[in-house]
């Protein structure tokens, strides 16, 4: 069940999903060690697959409980290696729009609430119980880390987001990078198709985008690019205002061509450095691994891929500063593995 992401924690690996508790996994054998219970009353609570590290070594995470409260409940977790769960804070949502990921600055936690609203009467499964209500628009929720009850809510156009990049606060201007969909079609029909037929078909693709919010005026705007990008990652050492965003993309937004590109997008200039695989190769989520220097942007991108023509899985290593130059090194298996995402790197 816990098949979405992995987090190294206290000598183990936490296998995460978003509907309930993580599972503890042995890092060497991948043996399941049992449910991760953070404390009394927290077993089986929703716990997202995208915890965020704080500079002091602790982590933030959230749980999305659209069925709790009048408009849904957002549960904020703060936990720390060696100390366990330090705080659990339930907060009301503007409305129960689907949440998968979040972002942060030094001072804030950021959530994008799309108008893809939970309605228990809308269907039998959890995915089927969401309705698209574009007339509602989206909301950017900005929470103060020092007091989570202090928040600002910004109106944005109707859209949908799975994943976020970095966020930066300069003065009163907040800039948030994200992968923006114009509709939840991938969630609404793509996931159902995947379960029913083993394939996912979606007429919409995510574009690398930026939300600019003025904390003083309370207004926000969406800036979308023409760059198709999902599964964003970045160098945690870099200045968020200048960091590149790495991700997987497509040769074009039309048709059903699979993800076939690894890209580095510069939000400041819009420039894209990319490497495109040959036809029939499906690329997976790239993972940034920093080198031993303190220089931001120095490191590698690890990207697995499935060669559907030859029937094998491979791994490519790219220089993160020169993605378009192609792989520095490659490794292949004698067989094909199922496609995946949200991996983690464990140094030897």
Tally of CB atoms within 10 A around 123: 13
What is the Cα–Cα distance from 228 to 250, expressed in whole angstroms?
A: 6
Binding residues: 50, 100, 163, 342
Beta carbons of 69 and 75 less than 8 angstroms apart: no
Nearest to 334 by CA among 301, 307, 303: 307
What is the Cα–Cα distance from 296 to 228, expressed in whole angstroms?
A: 24
Both tokens of 266, joined, read 């510069």
Q: What angle do CA 51, 57, 59 make, to 5 degrees?
A: 20
Binding residues for Fe cation: 50, 100, 163, 342
What is the Cα–Cα distance from 319 to 301, expressed in whole angstroms?
A: 6
What is the Cα–Cα distance from 288 to 303, expressed in whole angstroms?
A: 9
Beta carbons of 89 and 76 less than 8 angstroms apart: yes
Beta carbons of 179 and 259 less than 8 angstroms apart: no
Three-state secondary structure call for residue 8: strand
The burial class, CB within 10 Å (0-12 / 13-18 / 19+), for 325 is exposed
Q: Which residue has the tokens 């930066």?
A: 168
Beta carbons of 55 and 106 less than 8 angstroms apart: yes
Nearest to 260 by CA among 273, 278, 247: 278
């Amino acid at each position: 069940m816990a098949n979405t992401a992995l987090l190294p924690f206290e000598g183990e690996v936490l296998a995460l999903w978003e509907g309930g508790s993580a599972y503890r996994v042995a890092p060497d054998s991948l043996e399941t060690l049992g449910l991760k219970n953070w404390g009394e009353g927290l077993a089986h609570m929703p716990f997202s697959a995208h915890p965020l590290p704080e500079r002091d070594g602790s982590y933030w995470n959230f749980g999305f409980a659209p069925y709790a409260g009048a408009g849904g409940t957002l549960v904020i977790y703060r936990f720390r290696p060696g100390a366990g769960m330090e705080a659990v804070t339930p907060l009301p949502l503007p409305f129960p729009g689907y949440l998968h990921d979040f972002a942060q600055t030094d001072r804030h936690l950021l959530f994008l609430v799309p108008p893809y609203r939970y309605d228990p009467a809308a269907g039998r499964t959890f995915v089927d119980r969401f309705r698209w209500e574009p007339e509602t628009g989206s909301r950017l929720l900005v929470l103060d880390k020092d007091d989570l009850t202090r928040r600002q809510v910004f109106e944005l156009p109707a859209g949908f987001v799975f994943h976020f990049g970095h966020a930066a606060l300069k003065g009163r201007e907040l800039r948030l990078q994200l992968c923006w969909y114009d509709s939840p079609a991938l969630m609404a029909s793509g996931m159902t198709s995947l379960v029913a037929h083993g394939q996912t078909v979606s007429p919409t693709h995510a574009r690398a985008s930026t939300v600019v919010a003025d904390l003083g005026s309370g207004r926000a705007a969406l800036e979308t690019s023409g760059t198709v990008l999902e599964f964003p990652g970045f160098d945690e050492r870099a200045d968020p205002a200048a960091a590149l965003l790495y991700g997987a993309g497509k040769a074009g937004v039309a048709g059903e061509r699979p993800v076939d590109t690894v890209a580095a997008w510069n939000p400041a200039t819009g420039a894209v450095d990319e490497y495109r695989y040959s036809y029939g190769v499906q690329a997976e989520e790239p993972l940034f691994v920093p080198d031993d220097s303190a220089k931001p942007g120095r490191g590698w991108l690890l990207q697995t891929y499935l060669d559907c023509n030859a029937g094998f899985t491979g791994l490519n290593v790219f220089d993160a500063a020169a993605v378009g130059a192609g792989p520095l090194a490659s490794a292949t298996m004698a067989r094909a593995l199922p496609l995946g995402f949200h991996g983690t790197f464990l140094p030897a």
